[in-house]
Amino acid sequence: MNDFLLDRTSIPGVVLAGGRSSRMGRDKATVLLNGRTLLERVVEQLEPQVNTLAVNADAAPQNCRHSFIPDIVPGKAGPMAGIHAAMAYGATLGGVTHVVTVSVDSPFFPGDLVDWLAAAIDAPDKIAIASSEGRSHPVFGLWPVVLADELASWIVTDEKRRVLDFLLRHDVTEVAFPLRPTRASLLDPFFNVNTPDDLAEAERWLKVLV
């Protein structure tokens, strides 16, 4: 019988905000959605769910009161480099087995994300990632800090750096999240803002949230 119990009160959170933002044409963290930046909105959503919070980005965000953690693996190595930085950050805190990551471009993610992911963890090296409508969202995940060194090595040696390839090496549970009711229709809670058109759609969703 597995008697591992995740300490729900010790989970740190990291907002992944270090992407290239090539399709948006500017830093997505600073993009305004109804007068507030995406970073502000995501931080506000994650903060009540975690013990402490940090932002992974290329440079310290302006007017951000939380810790700033850059990628450790050089060369803009993609989202897994941000996840690695989050793991390494969690490992420095003491008494932490897992760290949760979220993406800065998804302002509608669930307010109970961490509770759902944490409920799926029954081993110190288990990974839990979010999914919706049959699609996985690995950047919304609960990651064991003990895998930090292995992930760093994988990033620099794996040519394709596909997230799925790393996940296949480990014990992973996908946690399915329901669509979010609105006054118009159902919203995928992991809707992400990649382009100006997506931003306009996010503005429309914001107006019909219940």
pLDDT value for 69:
95
Rounded Cα–Cα distance for residues 25 and 113 (Å): 29
The answer, yes or no, to whether residue 170 has pLDDT greater than 90, is yes
Helix, strand, coil percentages in the chain from 3-state DSSP, rounded to 5: 35, 25, 45
pLDDT value for 158:
87
What is this structure's pTM? 0.94
What's the average model confidence in pLDDT over 81-97?
95
pLDDT band at 20 (very low <50, low <70, confident <90, very high): low
Rounded Cα–Cα distance for residues 200 and 188 (Å): 16
Rounded Cα–Cα distance for residues 124 and 162 (Å): 23
Order of strands, sheet of 67-69, starting from the edge strand that comes earlier in the sequence: 67-69, 53-56, 13-16, 98-103, 135-144, 127-132, 172-176
pLDDT value for 22:
57
What's the average model confidence in pLDDT over 141-156?
96
pLDDT tens digits, one per residue of 121-136: 999 999 999 999 999 9
pLDDT value for 23:
64
